[in-house]
Amino acid sequence: MILDIIYTLTDSLHVMYKKIPRSPPLIRAQELGVAAMEPTPEAIPLLTPYKMAGSSFSLAHRVVLAPLTRQRSYGNVPQPHAAVYYGQRATAGGMLITEATGVSDTAQGYKDTPGVWTAEQVEAWRPVVDAVHAKGAVIFCQLWHVGRVSSYEFQPGGAAPVSSTETMVGPQVRHDGTVEEFSPPRRLTVEEIPAIVDDFRKAARNAVQAGFDGVEIHGGNGYLIEQFLKDSANNRDDDYGGSLENRCRFALEVVDAVTKEVGGHRVGIRFSPFMDYMDCHDSDPHALGLHLATKLNDHGILYLHMIEPRMALVDGRRVVPKRLLPYREAFKGTFIANGGYDREEGDKAIASGYADLVSFGRLFLANPDLPKRLELNAPLNKYNRMTFYISDPVVGYTDYPFLS
């Protein structure tokens, strides 16, 4: 009954957006770089069960929905169509991670991204969680603070965004070719940092109250935590800057606060040491990643989610660089790999023990029944970049077709 009402609401909202082109038709798997594997009697590694140690989560397969910003949470509040979107991608024994979700009113930097700092937001998340749980899946909420990747218009009272630094992010070219500009940030004082840590703690508590099975701390992609981690952005000379240990202090304080609030068995974290997104890069990404992976063991968190370096070209084919093994070996919990994986590369990662789980972003966005398509080696829907961040509650969001 609830989902019937949700579908009715999304259909009515869709009327406003009829002129936007529909999502593209099916293409062959090879066109997306997915190898055409012949059916075999052996188990498909990505579709084998997995028990997440230290938790009650027994997964039926290793295919995880990666966090994907969709910008359809009007006024920073999750909408009924989000329950449809996540419910479509939920399968019995599957695991989903939500889009990046703001921890406070200063954490925002994009239009219509969700939050979890108000009672209204918490209540709005409940139907989303219920839709996923109704399918027998697990769902984690990704907690996010954008830091300097923001502008005055998104900040309370038109204030400056906060960061580890006063250095501004340079203009960024968006997926549609437009240029995005940001406002000069204000450097957080040492005395202000505990309040930001506490925002993550309270957001984690709120997420669990909304019914989420756990939370993922967003520590990558050039946002606030990474602005402390990486030496290109962190020019501090206090306890939060300079040495590797000092630059990691803020991230580990957030982990400590969140685990104490909701329990390590409900906490994961995502890092991208090799990425240089939003002017964030490090002079020694390997040392940074290894230090973090090792230190996280002291906090007993459930999983570490890491992003591969950018895809490499080998014999004219794009392949995953596979440079995460040292961190997989250093971290004692569940390890999730992300970054350009397809069925062939994902199967190799699982079969070799390189990763416990593999998260898929754009392929899962465009293929709500991705685990079934991987099982059957079926054709894949092609994703449409131009509808990634539009406001339509249906187009490019819930209208990607399932296998008939």
For 21-52, how does the pLDDT look when each residue is reduced to its tens digit (9 = 90+)? Answer: 333 333 323 333 333 333 344 789 999 999 99
Is 399 part of any domain? no
Give the pLDDT score at 320. Answer: 74
Within a domain: residue 37?
A: yes
pLDDT at 10: 44
Give the chain's end-to-end CA distance (angstroms, integer).
24
Q: What is the pLDDT of residue 12?
A: 45
238 part of a folded domain:
yes
The dihedral formed by the CA atoms of 336, 355, 301 and 188, expressed in degrees to the nearest 10: -50
In a domain, 38, yes or no: yes
Give CA–CA dist 342/312, Å, rounded: 14
**187 in a structural domain:** yes
Does residue 392 lie within any of the structural domains?
Answer: no
Average pLDDT of the residues in 141-145: 99
**Domain range for residue 273?**
2-387
Residue 49: its H or E element: none
Compute the average pLDDT of residues 184-202. 99
**240 included as an active-site residue:** no
Residue 339: name the closest of 94, 66, 48 by CA. Answer: 66
Residue of 223, 240, 341, 354 with catalytic role: 223
106: in domain? yes
Q: Are residues 95 and 57 in contact, defined by beta-carbon separation less than 8 angstroms?
A: yes
Q: Pairing relation of β-strands 317-319 and 312-314?
A: antiparallel
* Sign (positive or negative) of CA dihedral 249, 252, 254, 256: negative
pLDDT tens for each residue of 45-94: 999 999 999 999 999 999 999 999 999 999 999 999 999 999 999 999 99
Evaluate if residue 5 carries a pLDDT over 50: no
Please count the structural domains in the chain: 1
Q: pLDDT at residue 131 above 70?
A: yes
Q: Which CATH number characterizes residue 87's domain?
A: 3.20.20.70
State residue 404's pLDDT score: 83
**Reported confidence tier of residue 316, pLDDT bands at 50, 70, 90:** low
Instruction: Answer whether residue 161 is part of any domain.
Output: yes
Give the model's pLDDT for residue 314: 59
Tokens of 354: 């390189």
pLDDT class of 348 with cuts at 50, 70, 90: very high
SS3 (DSSP) at 114:
coil
Kindly report the average pLDDT of the chain as a whole number.
91
pLDDT of amino acid 19: 38
pLDDT of residue 176: 83
